[in-house]
Structure 1
């Protein structure tokens, strides 16, 4: 069976073929395409070679189509319609009609602080979209290589800056606060460094880092250390431990505020001597999604919600 080498085929020949089949006349087909008559004659000659058929033949009253040319008319229209659709710009995304599933890799911080408001906004505009949340691991932006992940929401990793194929957008800048139970017996209105060091501490360590946390780094610069009485992997567990014990916990301020109605805690600024740095939450996505209108809407919705937090 003879197969045409598509790599060597000029697709403009198919447009010329449609004009020739419609007009059954070289000069009129040339005029229809805005070509000269010699240029259309050359196109017809090339088509005859490619298709192995004369296509147009002379008769007493002009020219007529060969049986092969007649057979080509209908499939040719379908092919050109498909090519036109293939090359057309993407259709305007309509959130109200979308049934797309978006997949997010995120931390429990994001799930508590950001996602309730994001989901409420998403479903107001797109009631039929689905969202799947996956736990964000330690690989940072490398997790975006998983084909199923649309965006990452979390603190940027140190290696993320090396990725030229991902886009990062800062959404939230967070700071740390200290929390103790509402009726703590030894903590007053202000948490001094001396009192902080005297208290047992809870540590949130998502990856079980034995080197301690940001407070330990700050204390080391002052030549001091604290007593860690309990270590947990999740943001959401620790405040409930604080409520029932005398431990002090350092955590993100928005988490403390979000849990305030559910847990009887007092929120206090850390001792100023610690100079605790905050952290950022970024929206990370792969360049392959840049021209996807649904993905662009999804990203802009998340960013708009985060801006109001």
Structure 2
């Protein structure tokens, strides 16, 4: 039998006929007229090459072929109805699910702690898996379902069709030096900034960026003495050396009370950057995924509105 030529509505009529044994009652149950239901029964008899239901007094009685169809018909229609039903409501309090995040150690430090604290209270069954967003093809990972979201300021390489983006907050830069640095007293001057050896965070291994661009516009350059793969090692290294590092303020703040560091506004204007969440269209309407993105956005709202310690 060619399934593409079968009108599945006929099977719904057959189920009702088997349950009611009456064309009139079956028609009422499926919302058809009695003539339309009689016509459907005629088509069913042709389809199965069997009378299916024959009259016995005022009722229709099923043939052995119809009886044999009863159970598999119920199972098949139940499966179709289940497939077409709306997904169940996502309940974070009882859900058991793992979400994967692609991000750098910046996102891990700024977003992950408050997100985990939030999940511990409202969604104890939710697990997280983190993946370094600098180590692979992010667009392909999202499209293939290897990760659920990307948290990143970068948009390069994320122009894949089917991706959604939501800005979470805007970040500004600060420059860190150790306390007692011989070249930096009450303020960080442009001369000192250009002359000091710099640490530079380059997750993808390629130096260069907004600091170099800003210096170049003023006919200046800097010496990058140390290139690091992540943000979290930069403040401890700077605290025990004469290096200077410029990085996002929110990733710098947690280190100021733990290491002998001072934070200054960079002596040249530097554009801030948006920190964003990306996800693929394939997960856009998934109830659990919608909830997950909402939690990230609410955590980011707290990050965005939290007061920042004055520079020192």
TM-score normalised to structure 2 length: 0.91
Q: Secondary structure at the match of 2:215?
A: helix
Q: List per-residue Cα deviations over 1:164-216 (Å, max 9, x = no partner).
A: 30100001211111110122223112111012123222111222214x23211
Partner Cα distance (1:21, 1:143) in 2: 49
2:256 counterpart residue number: 260
Q: Secondary structure at the match of 1:86?
A: helix
Count of matched residue pairs = 302
Partner Cα distance (2:160, 2:204) in 1: 23
* Aligned 1:79-158 pairs, distance under 5 A: 79-137=76-134, 139-158=137-156
- Displacement, 1:136? 0.5
Structure 1 residues 305, 147: closer, same or farther in 2, change over 3 A? same
- Displacement, 1:64? 1.8
Residue 215 (structure 1) aligned to one of 211, 217, 235: 211
The reply on whether 1:277 has 2:274 as its aligned counterpart is no
Q: List per-residue Cα deviations over 1:27-69 (Å, max 9, x = no partner).
A: 3322333322221111001111112210111335553211111
Partner Cα distance (2:56, 2:205) in 1: 87
- Displacement, 1:159? 4.4
Contact 1:140 1:156 in 2 (8 A): no
Contact 1:141 1:284 in 2 (8 A): no
Structure 1 residues 61, 297: closer, same or farther in 2, change over 3 A? closer
1:301 counterpart residue number: 295
Partner Cα distance (2:113, 2:57) in 1: 78
After TM superposition, the runs of 4+ consecutive aligned structure 1 residues lying more than 3 A away are: 59-63, 138-143
Q: Secondary structure at the match of 1:228?
A: strand
Partner Cα distance (1:205, 1:159) in 2: 16
- Displacement, 1:139? 4.1
Partner Cα distance (1:17, 1:181) in 2: 81
TM-score normalised to structure 1 length: 0.92
Contact 1:53 1:68 in 2 (8 A): yes
Contact 1:140 1:157 in 2 (8 A): no
Contact 1:178 1:251 in 2 (8 A): yes
Contact 1:215 1:276 in 2 (8 A): yes
Partner Cα distance (1:115, 1:155) in 2: 16
Structure 1 residues 58, 194: closer, same or farther in 2, change over 3 A? same
2:10 counterpart residue number: 13
Structure 1: gaps of 5 or more residues: none
Partner Cα distance (2:50, 2:62) in 1: 10
Q: List per-residue Cα deviations over 1:204-246 (Å, max 9, x = no partner).
A: 1222214x23211111111111222222121111111111111
2:198 counterpart residue number: 201
Residue 160 (structure 2) aligned to one of 156, 160, 163: 163
The reply on whether 1:251 has 2:247 as its aligned counterpart is yes
Q: Secondary structure at the match of 1:95?
A: coil
